Amino acid sequence: MPGIPPIGGAPFLKWAGGKGQLLGQLDPYFPKKFNRYFEPFAGSAAVFFHLGKIVSGLKATLIDSNEELINCFTVVRDNFEELVPKLRSFQEQHGKTFYYKMRGEVPSALGAVQRAARFIYLNKTCYNGLYRVNRKGVFNVPIGSYSKPKIFDEDNLRAASIALEKAKLIHGHFSAVLKQASDGDFVYFDPPYYTETNGFTGYAVSASGNATFGAFDHRMLLNCVEKLNDRGCTVVISNSNTKFIRDLYENFKRDKVTARRFINCNGSGRQLVNELVITN
C-alpha cells in the first residue's frame, strides 16, 4: 500500500526447521503482489518478518496449534513493556536449578506475561531450542549446554513487537486458514516435514511439540491447499524431498532447495538436506 512503510523485526525464537537460512532461496517463489498474507504453521514466523521488511502495508495472519507460541506472540505485541523486565530477571537467574524450576511450572496456571517470558526463556536455554512435550502435554526438553545464553535482544524484540501490531494471531489448526483466505491472498505452509519413518528428526518436530506429523495430516494439508488454489490464492509449501510428498503434490510445481539441518536427535552436526518448495 502506497505511503505505508515496510516494518522491521526478525525472529526472536529458535525453531526446529525455521526458514531463516532459506529466505534467499524461497523469496523468488513468493508473489510480488498479493492482498493478505497467511502463515498457518507460524513457528518462528521467519517468512512473516521477512515480508514485513519488503512489503509495504503488509496485512498478515499467523496461525499455530501451539497455544504457548501464540500467547508469546500476543504478549510481545501487546505487553512488551511488562515482558522485558521479566526476561531481564530470568537472564540474571539462569542456571540449572532455575531452568528446571521454570520447566516444572504449569503454563495454564500462569498469567499471560509470565507464561510468555517462561516460553522465551526455555526456548533460548533448552537443548537445541526444541519444543517438545510428552503425552501429558508437559514440556520435557533438558537444559542446553550454554555457558551464558542470551535470552533476548531488547531492540529486536521491540521491532518484532511493532511488526506484530499489523498481524492477526490465531491459535488453531492449520485448516483455520480456510475461514480466512480468499482470492488474491498469499498462503505459505511450513508444516512438520514428512519422514519415511515415525522417528524423531531434528527438523521435523511439529509446532505442537509432537515428533511426527503423519501421512494422514499431510493429505489433509493437500486438501486444504487444493481448496485455496481453487479460490485463487497463491500457495507456497515447504516440505521434505521424499517420494510420498513428491507423489502427493504431483499436480503442483516442485523445486529443490538446499538447507543445512540437524538430521538426527543427537545434534552432533549439521548436514546439507534437499527440501522441496511446492507452488501452484
Q: What is the CATH number of the domain that holds 247?
A: 3.40.50.150
Q: Is residue 5 part of a domain?
A: no
Cell of 82: 511488562
The number of beta carbons lying within 10 Å of the beta carbon of residue 162 is 15
* Domain identity same for 103 and 60: no
* Domain identity same for 212 and 174: yes
Give residue 131's pLDDT.
Answer: 82
Angle at 125 between CA 121 and CA 130, to 5 degrees: 95
Give residue 196's pLDDT.
Answer: 76
DSSP lists the bridge partners of residue 143 as 126
- pLDDT 10s digits, 125-158: 998 878 888 777 788 899 998 878 899 999 999 9
Sign of the CA dihedral with 57 first, then 63, 69, and 72 last: positive
| Domain final residue, candidates 112, 129, 155 | 155
* Domain identity same for 31 and 106: no
* Domain identity same for 33 and 138: no
Phi (first) and psi of residue 35, to 5 degrees: -80, -65
Angle at 128 between CA 272 and CA 174, to 5 degrees: 80
The number of beta carbons lying within 10 Å of the beta carbon of residue 154 is 11
Q: Is residue 1 part of a domain?
A: no
Q: Is residue 127 part of a domain?
A: yes
Give residue 225's pLDDT.
Answer: 98
* Domain identity same for 91 and 205: no
* Domain identity same for 209 and 224: yes
Contact 275, 238 (CB under 8 A): yes
For the domain that residue 134 is a member of, what is the CATH number? 1.10.1020.10
Rounded CA gap, 233 and 145, in Å?
44
Count of structural domains within the chain: 2
| Domain final residue, candidates 155, 182, 204 | 155
- pLDDT 10s digits, 198-219: 443 433 344 344 446 789 999 9
Q: Is residue 230 part of a domain?
A: yes
Range of the domain at 116: 70-155
Give residue 208's pLDDT.
Answer: 41
Q: pTM here?
A: 0.88
Cell of 138: 508437559
Q: Is residue 12 part of a domain?
A: no
In the chain, which residues have pLDDT < 50?
A: 1-3, 198-211, 263, 266
* Domain identity same for 170 and 58: yes
Q: Is residue 146 part of a domain?
A: yes
Contact 113, 79 (CB under 8 A): yes
Q: Is residue 6 part of a domain?
A: no
* Domain identity same for 61 and 80: no
Give residue 137's pLDDT.
Answer: 77
| Domain final residue, candidates 155, 180, 196 | 155
Q: Is residue 2 part of a domain?
A: no
- Pick left, alpha or beta for residue 57 (phi over 0 → left; psi -120 to 50 → alpha; otherwise beta): left
The number of beta carbons lying within 10 Å of the beta carbon of residue 212 is 17
* Domain identity same for 122 and 245: no
